[in-house]
Structure 1
């Protein structure tokens, strides 16, 4: 498995793709990250065409087990961020 792309590498690749400098590419990446974070935190969803949909899902209160001790306890309801991958991306990866 290949190493994941770092933020620095992503900014450099984005700058090259956009035909701009790294400062502008970093600003664009930061703006997009901020928008996605705000929207999903507020309970909304963001669709990135060709990539997927990022959304927040609520999980109900449930019983969980501590693997070290085997003790069961009740975990409070919480929220978790999920992502559904777009069919176009799946198809491009699978060939």
Structure 2
């Protein structure tokens, strides 16, 4: 089972006392700040919940799974997300 955005907005509204519209705006704003910060290379840390940072991936050689042919994969950036202590504790139950 997974929680989609609509269900997440409803849960946030219920727990915070915000309207669903305000909870949706807050979630959208969080998403924008996260994307902008990571795009600039800034790490985002929410103590206890998670941390996210942009990581550099070196160029490497890969294989086309269909043909087995070697291909060159250029250097790029990725995102590393680490669970915080509260999140780890919640899933360990």
Shared fold (TM-score greater than 0.5)?
Answer: yes
Distance 1:41 1:15 in 2: 29
Residue correspondence of structure 1 range 1-80 to structure 2 within 5 A: 3-80=1-78
RMSD: 1.0
Match of 2:86 among 79, 85, 88: 88
Runs of 4+ in 1 over 3 A off after TM superposition: none
Gaps of 5+ in 2: none
Gaps of 5+ in 1: none
Distance 1:20 1:92 in 2: 24
Structure-2-length-normalised TM-score: 0.94
Aligned residues: 93
Structure-1-length-normalised TM-score: 0.92
Q: Structure 1 residue 92: deviation in Å?
A: 2.4
Q: Structure 1 residue 88: deviation in Å?
A: 2.6
